[in-house]
Amino acid sequence: MKLIFLITFVIVTLLGCVTNQNTPTVTTAPENDAWVGRYRLTWMKGTPAAEAGAPDLVFSIARVPDADPNKMTVKEREVSLARWTLSSGEQNMVLRRFHPNDYEGLNTAGGIECLDGGNVFFCRVKPGTIVKGILARTGFFGVVLHEGGFELTKLDSTP
């Protein structure tokens, strides 16, 4: 019973509590948008989620219309208007690019790009890069607050 509760908690935490009612319409992604696609999330060994036996998750990331600059603060506009949505079934979460200050301490050879979903973030680096002790074998990894790190395997480029 405890495991079922934890699995449910992790899925709700990862995907947030935003329903399809508030989800922006998916737009056509630029051909070079490396984030768009379907992914499998695998918890890293030793994380609270892995220790509790949380299963792998499959979800999609798609491009959505850019944020309205008139509804953003100056600081938010400095980052990027680009937005994505992470979807799994009926639940969705809007993702935005990291603010340049968010990368402090994450410097890697070859660069890093991250998306923020509030209580979860996703990063993309050259496969095999080590970031803060995390080996990104596939080049895609992230962290869920209080649950730990995970690696992403891109299954395909279709949202």
Domain ranges of the chain: 2-156
pLDDT digits (tens, 9 = 90+) for 100-148: 777 777 766 668 889 999 899 999 999 998 888 888 999 999 999 999 9
Q: Is the pLDDT of residue 13 over 50?
A: no
Q: Which among 5-9, 87-91, 142-146 has the top mean pLDDT?
A: 142-146
pLDDT digits (tens, 9 = 90+) for 90-105: 778 889 888 777 777 7
| CA-wise closest residue to 85 among 24, 143, 30, 157 | 24
User: What mean pLDDT, rounded, does the chain reach?
Assistant: 76
Q: pTM above the 0.85 mark?
A: no
